[in-house]
Amino acid sequence: MTNNNKLMFKYLLPLLAFGILIASGCNKDDDDTGGDPQELITTVLLEFSPAGGTPLTFSFKDVDGIGGNAPVVDNVVLAANTTYTLRVKFLDESQAGNVEDITAEVSDESAAHLVCFDTEGSVPLPAVQDVDTDGKPLGLVSQVVTTSAGTGKLTVSLKHEPDKGAAAPCNTGETDVEVIFDVTIL
């Protein structure tokens, strides 16, 4: 064997084997999505229940999804000096007659989800009342205590796989949905 052939086997063969290894590693199964697919959330419902009173429900609806018709968002109107239990629900209403309640999945996979709140103006920050399977905040049930009259905004976000041990867990993970409600407290 000549020196040129020895060099070719010494360098070319390992390079060829490496190339085959890389090519076979990149061949992925089309069904492998790497985890749960992100759910389509078209509707966010906020149900404010005063103690002993009638629940008030407000919604964000974008049934045709991003890029179609503008979403329809209710203005939240609450009474001053009142304590409310806030329940948040997430729905997929993209197919008429086939409403999917995403809230059940969020509850079932509670350790992988977090409902986050942010407020502006006179809107009090909801205090999360429920916990996930690890005893960490979930946010499907919260308490809101209004004081004086005023206006502002309430932002509701559903986070997927947040770091609930982080100093600011709502700044981690992926955002499944985020909506802003105008709020008036009378």
For 50-101, the pLDDT digits (tens) are 999 999 999 999 988 778 899 999 999 999 999 999 999 999 999 888 999 9
In a domain, 25, yes or no: no
Name the residue range of residue 89's domain: 43-185
**Which has the higher per-residue pLDDT, 28 or 116?**
116
The domain total for the chain is 1
21-56 in b/e form (b: 16+ CB < 10 A) is eeeeeeeeeeeeeeeeeebbbbbbbbbbebeeeeeb
pLDDT of amino acid 36: 53
In a domain, 6, yes or no: no
Token pair 């955002």 in the structure block, residue: 175
In a domain, 34, yes or no: no
In a domain, 33, yes or no: no
CA distances from 146 to 89, 177, 185 (A): 21, 25, 8
pLDDT of amino acid 57: 98
DSSP 65-104: -TTSSPPEEPPEEE-SS-EEEEEEEEEE-SSTT--EEHHH
In this predicted model, what pLDDT tens digit does every residue of 55-68 receive, in sequence order? 999 999 998 877 88
pLDDT of amino acid 154: 98
Task: Answer yes or no: is pLDDT of 12 > 50.
Answer: no
pTM for the model stands at: 0.79
In a domain, 80, yes or no: yes
Tell me which DSSP letter residue 2 carries: -
In a domain, 172, yes or no: yes
> Confidence band (pLDDT; 50, 70, 90) for 29?
very low
H-run or E-run covering 118? strand 113-121
Tell me which DSSP letter residue 26 carries: T
In a domain, 8, yes or no: no
Q: What is the CATH number of the domain that holds 76?
A: 2.60.40
186 vs 98: CA distance, rounded Å: 37
11 vs 14: CA distance, rounded Å: 6
Closest CA to 123 of 182, 171, 169, 75: 182
In a domain, 112, yes or no: yes
